[in-house]
Amino acid sequence: MKKKTILGMKPIKVLFAMEYVLQGLANPFQGITYHSFFKHFHFTYGMTEAATQMFFSKSYLAWSFKPIIGFFMDAYGKTRTVLIFLLLSGAGLYVLIPLVDTSALVFFWMMFALSILFAGTDVAVDRATIITGNEESKTQEKSKAATVGINQAICWAAIYGTSIIAAFSGGWIADNVKIEVLLVSLAIVPAVVFLVVLRLPKDKAASIPLRESVTNFWKGLNTGPVLWIILFFFLFHFQPAMGALWTNYLITEIKFTQTQIGYADSVGYLGYFIGVL
């Protein structure tokens, strides 16, 4: 039986890239949505820059659900099925939100729910990179670290490459495109990833009992090397969250347009992209 491909490539490899195109373009509060959301909170609803920044800060809490999502995903075991549900739900929410956008709070919580869905797709694809990397290490006689690392590199190159485009165009979109049009248009992104998922073979990986998954996580978390890595990442990434405050300063004091801010942001992501390569 001939295996399904997408433009001659394995569907799973295309999924690794497309999932992070999704994160770079359609993940709420980030990427292409950042400037439009800032404008919506700050100018449409008249929130202060501090209150706007508070919403952006809280949005990151959606990603704190990833370990819990991972436990249940391991227990269920059917990554393809989960991805189909999450992607269709995400596309549906993007179409629905403009219809119920009646206040800043309603808009935030709807987008927060959407962020949790996309955090779930991130967990699912992370799981797939590990499972696929493990299989490839056995068939290609390479180390698991090498095969999983290559798959992760595809993911990160995709998200930083997409982030250049998202930042470059996001400011212009905020200045020229109505947010309702943007939101409905973004529903296309998870829909395209959904079409890629349909090309995947059925799940073969064994499920992991919930108790075993939680126990393994806890044991790994309490090892010295893992704790040192966590500390390193905390110190390396710790900085005051100045996003909305800085954006407002650039607009009101330096008189930048959001288009110009987007161009500047894209240069920063270009550095990230080159670093990943």
Q: Of 191, 20, 195, 15, nearest to 91 (Cα)?
A: 191
What would the pLDDT profile of 178-235 be if each residue is shown by its tens digit?
Answer: 999 999 999 999 999 999 998 887 777 777 888 888 887 787 777 777 778 778 777 7
Q: 11-276 adopts what CATH topology?
A: Growth Hormone; Chain: A; (1.20.1250)
What average pLDDT does this structure show over 154-179?
A: 83
Domain spans of the chain, in order of start: 11-276
Of residues 116, 97, 119, the one with CA closest to residue 36: 97
- pLDDT (average), residues 35-43: 90
Q: Judge contact between 35 and 258, C-beta under 8 A.
A: yes
Give me the residues paired with residue 6 across strands.
9
One-letter amino acid identity for 59? S
> What residues are paired with 9 via a beta bridge?
6
Tokens 């935030």 locate to 108
Spatial contact of 35 and 171, defined as CB atoms under 8 Å apart:
yes
Q: What is the DSSP string of 224-275?
A: HHHHHHHHHHHHHH-----HHHHHHHHHHTS---HHHHHHHHHHHHHHHHHH
Mean pLDDT of 38-54: 88
Q: What is the pLDDT of residue 114?
A: 95
Name the DSSP class of 61.
G
Task: Classify residue 191 as exposed, middle or buried by CB count within 10 Å of its CB (0-12, 13-18, 19+).
Answer: middle
In which band, very low, low, confident or very high, does the pLDDT at 144 lie, cut at 50, 70 and 90? low
> Concatenated DSSP letters for 127-195?
HHHHHHHHHHHHHHT--HHHHHHHHHHHHHHHHHHHHHHHHHHHHHHHHHS-HHHHHHHHTHHHHHHHH
- pLDDT, tens digit, 9 for 90 and up, residues 64-121: 888 888 888 888 888 889 999 999 999 999 999 999 999 999 999 999 999 999 999 9
Sign of the Cα torsion 211, 216, 222, 227 reads negative
